Structure 1
């Protein structure tokens, strides 16, 4: 019986709010969630770089890194929705652009636990930022669905770039990583 109640509570928790006074908020939340990672240079570069870096890996790490990013980002989004504010949040996000750019530039293959920890930590800061910027009157669930979908698309785009380009283009991917790292330095300085 307790399991059934827990499942009902979880289902209610995961159901978007439907009691708005007038329609359109869910679409606004979804569109805002989709646009946040795409229109913020810091989010855009970091998420593309995660896809690039994942594609440079071997074995399961190729798909585990993007999944870890999305899961940690979603957790951070929930914390942001709840009002959690992290110190130096923007510095952490800019630092992720620098770090992921460097990892792509050198095609780093870290031990999986270290790669996942680093990815999860940076993703958490991106998620908190997304959660704190929830538009007024938007459903947090459609907003979260939007930023998760956009993040997944950016990861997939970066991954596809590396996996489907000829091997001769690998130096260009590394150059893109170096440019991303440079943007991270610029973001940290600004």
Structure 2
């Protein structure tokens, strides 16, 4: 089982970030999302997005405080000990426009147990997580993934149709990762691949 990519600057007392715990799609789906983002710019349906290379992901834990280097290491050590489910498919309910972003929507119940398990990890480390988000949006963590951002307002209908016709109805979730807000694949703090199979 592949795991552990840790990138912490030596001697850094505080990491200026609020990281997230996420689950990422299989490589084919990730590559498709990057292709869609590039195509939208090439067709002039969207403007150049400074976050276009951010790793496609579904957020499982919103961490609501700045973490010290020591707390990040404590999180990673706890995550290493967790039993994770086998890889599985998630069904796309619909693809919609959210404020000039194209977003795939899911039934959040598909990831509820994983969200709750990770919530206990962060609670055990006295790290505030998910409460502000749930206060605003309810129990909806794990219900969406951004496919594209910065779509031109007048191009939303055609961009939405393009993605609805291109994006699969289901895809595999294969890796849990601990990432920063602007994380690309090379910047992952920690990751663990799920064993092949289904929940």
State whether TM-score is above 0.5: no
More helix by share: 1
More strand by share: 2
